[in-house]
Every structure is written in C-alpha cells, then in structure tokens.
Structure 1
C-alpha cells in the first residue's frame, strides 16, 4: 500500500482509501484499498473500492459527500452519496475520473461519462476536491506533475470542470509534483490561513520523497502564497503523499504514507509492505515573520500515563511489552541529552538534543538498528532548535517498525521506519554535558487492531 486517498469522515466513521496492489507487496497493479475507523487508531479493512481495469490503474485522488446531489448521480437517494475523484492511469494517458457510491463508500460505480477531465497528458494526476462555500462550487486541486504546475478547476456538478488558475514552480520541485491538498488551517490565537500541501518525488532534501507546504490565501480561483520559502512538514525520511480528511469537523486532520520511494519496494516486512502515519491534527503558529505548521497525534487516548524515569544523570529501564509505546519527555536545552531504545544485542535507535551554538539541533539516529541494509536507507536526521528556547517538549510514538517524533509541541516532526534484528526491550536516557539532570519521562503502552 502507498498513498492515502479519498480521506473522508461520514457520520462517526472515518474512511481511508489508499493505493493498493492486492496481488503482491510491490508497487504496481494499482487499486484503491479501503479501511474504516471510529477512532483513527483501530482500523477495519474492507474490500477493494476501485479496481485496476483495462482503462488503466486507479491512481491517487480524493472523495467528497455530495449531500445536495449536485452531480445528479444520486437521484432517488435521500441525502446524496459519496463521490470518488481519482486519476485513471494508462501507459500513455492520465485522466481524471469519478465514481459514485450509494452505500456509504462500500461499493462504487464509475460514471458513464468518464473521463471528466482529459488534457492528453501522461503526467496529470492526484485530484483533491473540496466544496468552496464563497463561490458555491467544487474546487479541484490537481498537478501537471512534471511541469511543476498545480492547477485549480471549478465545477458546479463534479462532472463538468473549468480551469481557473494555477500555482507553479515554487519551493522544491524535484522531478514530479504529486498529491496536492489545499485546506484552511486555524491559526493559534485566532483566524485561519489557506495551506497548500505538495509532495515531491524524487528530489527531497533527505533523498527521495518529501512533503512541503505553503501558507497563503485562496480566492476561489488562485492560491497566492505569502512567500515561496520551502517549509517541510517532516524532517524524517518516511513521510509522503500527505492528505487531509474531508468533513473532519474542526481543525484539519490528515495522514501520510510512512515510507520513501527510494526503498519502499525492498523493506524487510515479508508478505506486506506499506503503512500510514498516525493521524495528525493541524494548526498554524506564527513565529516572528515565519509560519510553523503544528502537528499533534489525533485519536490517541490521553490517559494511562505513568512516570518511568525521574531525575539522575543516567537512567535505564525495561520497556513494557505492547504493540506501541507513547512517551513524553522534556529536553533541558542547557545540556546535551540522549534517549535510546535498544536491546541486548547492541542494537539501538536514539533521539538526542545538542544545544551547542554551532549545532543547535534535535537529532535522530536509526543506524544502530541492524535489521535492514540499503544504500538509500539514510540513518541520521536533524532539525534546528529555535534560538533562545530553554526547553524542548518531546513526544515519541514507537511501534514495531516505526517512530514518530513530535517536538516543540508539534512544530518539529519526524517520521522514520526502523528495523531491529531483535526487538528493543530497554530504554536509556543520559545527560552528556556536566551538571544536568534528567527531567521526568512518562510512558504508556497501547495496542491498536491491525487492519491494513
């Protein structure tokens, strides 16, 4: 599995469609897989939603709920239905198609008039559609990938589309623009801004895949970025194709694919490959003249915390058994500190903070885990600390082969895969520079129901 598609909330049910090869654990033969959840943690797998057909593969896209039946695809159905908008990809052409579901997303029927947009291109994909209330029409954000152009289309009925404007050649271009998403995000302290999320591959600064974002305004035709600075969502290497849920209610919530195209087909996970990040709730924080995206885990219970380590210069403890661990810790930025997950075989993954002026970084090293070797499986990553900060709150979610880091209350995020030869069973915290003491570290374990 790879890109999340068609993220949408309907009632108390969260739908996550996604790119899927149902026949083999490698890219190709692309269908839309489907899973549903009531809490964003426990997922139930449902049958394939959109299939690979003689017309082409079912590439990435989005879903909306057409309650007013603007599409006329739900005549005779009270309350409308779900419409998937996706790219149908053949060897020589990529078109935008739609499909309708009258049973809450369980099954879809392709629209007889497909494609709804065809510009004769083989690099035209990944439509994200939303309802834009000020202009009372549907807006599609889609990319002409290799031209590095984000195109906006408008429609009254999801079937007939008119090109409106574009946003192009901004930020990191890489080889392809992919998986755009335009969404209004609340600003801490009041107000909202439009944010355009844009994935690139290959060409990310860590190598391979990456997600960048731009803050600005959208007038129903064009997105105007406040500046063209490159801001990355995640400083790890395993975060791609980020998309937000339609009709989430409140602040936007989104999910990314947790992998990288440089090694996605080679991961040592056996009969399956591919997983998603935790769902993340979004806001914006103004910091001087800059913007910072704030990301916090969504759906994780906040109870059950217990103090694991409190005080001292060096401490270690056994890790409780469980599917995943959720840890909270605060770095004292007057001292260098390292948190390490390890085992008796000498393997480890570590997260550290080095506040020395020439370095000033939160860093991660996954190179001590020896369960996977690949020339592009980069081992070390870092993110600059904010000047003048005295402490750095940190939240870590460690699962069997994944680590998600939320630093500085969610403005410094990293998503990383890791592969131990033997599972980690101990945690060690050490203050390296003289005079420092370990602040308390809190932990809880939790278990989700595997569904994907």
Structure 2
C-alpha cells in the first residue's frame, strides 16, 4: 500500500496497489528480493505525472503489500533515458564490481540515447551496480556493454542459468519492431555473446517489449519442468491496446523452443483466443517476475494501465499504479500446459476486514442489491447457470450503474463491462466491454475471485486460469454490490465479501 495523500481530490488512490506519491510510473523494472526486502523499481518521471525524463523509481517492501517509496535509483541525464531492465545478485562477484565484503547488485538497463549523445536514436544495454543493497547505483564506465546499433533493442531480463551447457548469465531482450526475443550469455555481466532468437510468433499486432524467461514445474512435478517465455506487445492485446502473451516450451541454455506457437506470427489470420495471454483485460502490461524470490516462488507484477489512454486517466497528483503481486504456477488444462495465477498469499492479511457471507442465492431477472458495499473489497463467488443468457456481479455500483462482471454460458465467455463504471469520458478508448474465453468446471460451476480497489478491478476466474484487469473511476458514493441476470435465472451457491477497513 502507499501512504494516503492529503489532496482532497485524490479519491482514486489505491489501498492495495502501489503508486508513486506524486509522479508518473509505468513498467516495473529490476524486481529482486534481497536480504529480506522486496525491491520494486519502475519507469518513472521524477518531475511530473506524465511520461518523460525516464528514470528508475524505487520502492521497498518486506511483505509485498506495504511499500515505501525510496529516492530515485537510476536517473536519466543529458545523454540517456533509463528504459526498462532487470537486477541480479552477483553472489560470486563474477562482474568484479563487488567490494570484497558484500555481493553487488547488478542492474542491466536500456540506454535510450538522446539527441545530445553521439549514439542518438539508438538503444543499447548498459550496466550499473550497487554495494549498499540497491539504494544507490553507479553507472559502469564502459557503458553500453551490449550494442546492436539498433533503434529498438531494449528491455533486458537477466537471470543465472545452470544446466548441461554450464553455468552463466542469460539475457533475454527484444528487437521490438522485428517481433523478436534475442538471447545472449555472459560469464561476467559485462561481455555478452549472442546465442539465439525467437519470433515472430503468435500475436504481433504491436511492438514486442519486456520479455521474461523462467522455469516452472508442470502440475508441481519438478521432473516435468517447462520454460515460460513472456513477451508484452503494444498495441495488439486481446481486447485492444496493450497486452502480454506467453509461450510454454523448452530452454536448453541456448535457444527457446515453443510448444504453444499457434501461427507463423500473422495476427490478421488467426483468432486472438487461440493465443496464451497473461491477462485478458486492458490494464495489465509489461509484466515481469522477481529474481531470487524466496521458496522458489515465481512472483510477477504488471503495470496497471494501457498506453491508449494512460496519460489521460483522471488521477492526481500521481498517475498509474502497479498490479497486485501474482504467484505463477503451471497446470495441465485439457491436455495443454497453461499458467495459473493467484494473488500472493500476503494479501490475505492486508488490513482490518469485515466479512459477509451468503449461500444459495437465487438470481432472478434483473438486479439484486446485496449491501451498501465498500470501495475496497475482496469477493469470492461461485455461480451455477440456470436459464439466464448472462449473469454475474455489478461492483462499485450506485443502484443503476456500475462495473459489470458477467458470465455468458452459451458463449463460454466472461465479460467485464465498464461502459457505465463512472468517469469514462476522459478518453475515447476507455469505455469498453472486454471478453475472454471461460469454460465451466466439471460440475458446471464458475468460480471468481475479485479484488476491487478505489480505481481498479482484478478478476481471477476458475482458479486463476483466466484473469482480467481493468481500471475504473466510479464516484465516491458508488459502493453498492449487486447480483444480476439477463434472460432468465441463475444461482450463487456461495458468496463471500471481505471489506477493507
């Protein structure tokens, strides 16, 4: 959480999501766990609440829920903006940058060179290191350490690989306009050698950005570990604007091979439903995972906004927030490996809550108001379809309007409808009805876990196999929670609502 602002118009400041105090933020960078502290770095304009002066902001947490904003970590200068990247703990001082007492943290970031630089118009990978646990950083004198003489080579994610070919550092980055992930290796984090590339593949409706590559055991079986390659694209998401996709396959230390490539990369001739998406909503982008998370957990955070309208959202003095932290697992679904995403367990103890429960709720045609509600709620609900064409919940409502989260059983789809969610007029692209494929469980039921905050809703359906994230900007009195059905009836066998005090 972030400290509550004293600004009287700051009604959308999240209670559960990280925001900067009074500046702009976008992509999460350099996510790392070190000596009991989670470090969240991010793209930040230290001087305003619109994109620009791109530097690395910094926040820390001991529990993933409560975050403390720190001073700017790596600042832009007259020659370069500091674009996205990652951080590793150089435990054995392979870089030679340690002080002999503590392992250095080493950041790899994209230098986006300005007109005043001799490298103007290009992007290359640079290095910085920290000897005080990630609070102050020194740029390397030999930057950039990897240059392809490209205008769109960016977003390095670095990790330590140990396998049959050996033990070394691996970097995945992108050639954004070519829809390619490029893979490099290094023994010392300073000298990099090309290994392979992947792509174009599946969705290519926009530039590729912010890749990640990591292993996960299939169905919890370490003997069946597979590798996940994530890559974000803008535009070209499943419901318009920004989005993130993933591939499941094999990484042998040199090349990634996908088992889930659907097409040769022609988005115009393939259905977006066939691709694997990190999130089907419009407001989950640039997601990357923490390095060195404890207990082998794969924890991921995304930017909760969309480049279509990100600079216009009606918040003040801050603009943009991060998603909740998600824990990733890999499960078998209809014979295919798919990601399952759950909000990190730490959010179960995120503050004082009052809880209401209902059982066996009949949902007739129309709306059924349950209680006045609250701006911040965690909702667990199970539905059983009846004769209704569509049924579900209306959150942050005012009795007539609100954000609709519904199931259309005959179409095997879930929807989030924010066309009447409050303030939707600040940008022509904001009001939307977004959909995703969703099948019932074996018993015909649908289960949803929904996190509602002051300006957002994150939906985790069918045990996190489908997620949808969206911004909303309701009025301060729009707190009602309702059930609804269209064209018939349905049932909610169980409903639990926890309201944050």
- Shorter-chain TM-score: what band? over 0.9
> SS state of the match for residue 438, structure 1?
strand
Separation (CA, whole Å) in 1 of partners of 2:95 and 2:220: 38
Q: What is the distance in 2 between the residues matched to 1:290 and 1:224?
A: 16
Matched, 1:85 2:130: no
Q: Structure 1 stretches of 5 or more lacking a match?
A: 448-452
SS of 1:312 mapped into structure 2: strand
CA offset digits 1:277-332 (Å, max 9, x no partner)? 0000001111233222100001211696733333332442334446x211100111
Find out whether 1:5 has 2:29 as its counterpart: yes
Contact 2:28 2:286 in 1 (8 A): yes
Deviation at 1:335, TM superposition (A): 5.1
User: Deviation of residue 232 (structure 1)?
Assistant: 0.9
In 2: Cα distance, 1:334 partner to 1:320 partner: 26
TM-score, normalised to structure 1's length? Answer: 0.94
Cα distance in 1 between the residues matched to 2:398 and 2:29: 41
Please give the per-residue CA displacement for 1:387-429, whole angstroms capped at 9, x wherever unaligned.
6741111100000000000000000100000011344221111
Aligned to 1:307: 356
Partner residue in 2 for 1:450: none
Q: Which moved more, 1:376-385 or 1:150-159?
A: 376-385
Q: What does 1:22-421 correspond to in 2, within 5 Å?
A: 22-76=46-100, 78-91=101-114, 92-134=121-163, 135-190=166-221, 191-229=224-262, 230-249=275-294, 250-298=296-344, 299-301=346-348, 306-314=355-363, 315-321=368-374, 324-334=376-386, 336=388, 337-344=391-398, 346-356=400-410, 359-373=411-425, 374-386=427-439, 389=442, 390-421=444-475
CA contact (8 A) 2:386 2:488 kept: no
- SS of corresponding position for 1:398: strand
Distance 1:435 1:166, change over 3 A: closer
Q: Matched residues in 1 for 2:92 and 2:71: separation?
A: 27
Provide, for residues 408-452 of structure 1, a one-character-per-residue CA deviation record: whole Å limited to 9, x for no partner: 0000100000011344221111345656433221111236xxxxx
Query: How many angstroms apart in 2 are the aligned matches of 1:419 and 1:22?
Result: 25
Using the alignment, how far apart are the partners of 1:435 and 1:235 within structure 2? Answer: 27
Q: Secondary structure at the match of 2:473?
A: coil
How large is the RMSD of aligned CA atoms in angstroms? 1.8
1:305 & 1:156 partners in 2: Cα distance? 53
1:182 Cα deviation after fit: 0.3
* 3-state SS of paired residue (2:209): strand
Within 1, Cα distance between the matches of 2:234 and 2:122? Answer: 19
> Are the equivalent residues in 2 in contact too, given 1:334–1:355 (CA < 8 A)?
no
Residues 241-250 or 366-375, more deviating = 366-375
Mapped partners of 1:296, 1:375: distance in 2 = 32
For residues 489 and 306 of structure 2, the distance between their equivalents in structure 1, rounded to whole angstroms, comes to 40
Give the stretch that moved more between structures: 203-212 or 273-282: 203-212
The structure-2 alpha-carbon separation of the partners of 1:288 and 1:316, relative to structure 1 and needing over 3 Å to count, comes to same
